[in-house]
Amino acid sequence: MIENFELLKREELRRSSILTYCNDTYKLPNDSVVVYDMMLHGGASAVVPVMEDGKILMVRQYRPTVERATTEIPAGKRDPGEDFLEAAKRELEEETGYKAGKMEHLITVITAIAYCNEKIEVYVASDLTKTKQNLDDDEFIEFRSFDIEELAQMIYRGEIQDSKTIAALMAYKNKIAENNA
C-alpha cells in the first residue's frame, strides 16, 4: 500500500542552473490528492581525499546559506552528461589541486530526501598527486588535512554540520575500523 503513490502532474515553477523547482500533484493510496513542493537536482559527487600519511584533505569555504565558512569534503554538481566518478575526479582537482591514482565508491547520500532528489555519490580518493587548484570564478577555497579522529571530534562538537561531509567521514571511519578488525 505504501508504494501506491501516483504522480498526476508536475508543474515546473522555476529552473536555475542547479535546481528545478516544482509542485508535484500525487494521488495517495487512500485516493486523496496532495501537492508536494519539490526541488529536482542533477546529482553531485564528493570525495574523501586520503593523503599518504592517512590524513584527510578538507576544504573550507564561505557558504551564504549559513552565513559562515564551513569545513567540508570536496564536492560539486555534475556537468551535463558527466558521470559521477568523472565529476568526483574533476571536483577533487579543481578544489584541492590533487589528482587521485585510485578512486573507490564509498556511499550514496540523498541530502534532503523530504523535498529534494539531490543524490551525491561519495568516493574515497588515494594515491594523490599534486597538480594545480582550478577554482571557478565564484569559489574561494582553502584546504588543509586532518586525521579522522580530529574530524569525528569536529562533528561531535558541531564544527562540521554539512550532511554529506558527516555521512562520508563517519562511513569512512567505520570502513577503517572494519578493515583493522
Residue 3: per-residue pLDDT? 80
pLDDT per position as a tens digit, 8-55? 999 999 999 899 999 999 999 999 999 999 999 999 999 999 999 999
Do residues 27 and 68 both lie within one domain?
Answer: no
3-state DSSP call for residue 161? coil
Do residues 59 and 147 both lie within one domain?
Answer: yes
Do residues 10 and 97 both lie within one domain?
Answer: no
User: The domain that contains 102 carries what CATH number?
Assistant: 3.90.79.10
Q: Please check the confidence at residue 180 and state whether its pLDDT lies above 90.
A: no
Evaluate whether residue 1 is within a structural domain: no
Evaluate whether residue 15 is within a structural domain: yes
Name the pTM for this structure: 0.91
Rounded distance between C-alpha atoms, residue 71 and residue 151, angstroms: 10
Amino acid at 172: Y
Domain that holds residue 36: 6-41
Do residues 120 and 164 both lie within one domain?
Answer: yes
pLDDT per position as a tens digit, 105-130? 999 999 999 999 999 999 999 999 99
Is residue 29 packed enough to be buried (19+ CB in 10 Å), middle (13-18) or exposed (0-12)? Answer: exposed
Do residues 102 and 146 both lie within one domain?
Answer: yes
Do residues 18 and 107 both lie within one domain?
Answer: no
Strands 119-130, 44-49: parallel, antiparallel or unpaired by DSSP? Answer: parallel
Q: Please check the confidence at residue 1 and state whether its pLDDT lies above 70.
A: no
Do residues 14 and 97 both lie within one domain?
Answer: no
Do residues 16 and 67 both lie within one domain?
Answer: no
Evaluate whether residue 92 is within a structural domain: yes
Domain count, the chain: 2
Is residue 122 packed enough to be buried (19+ CB in 10 Å), middle (13-18) or exposed (0-12)? Answer: buried
Do residues 11 and 90 both lie within one domain?
Answer: no
What DSSP letter does each residue of 101-154 carry, written as one string?
Answer: EEEEEEEEEETTTTTB--EEEEEEEEEEEE------TT--EEEEEE-HHHHHHH
Please give the backbone phi and psi of residue 124, each rounded to the nearest 5 degrees, phi first: -100, 125
Evaluate whether residue 141 is within a structural domain: yes
Evaluate whether residue 138 is within a structural domain: yes
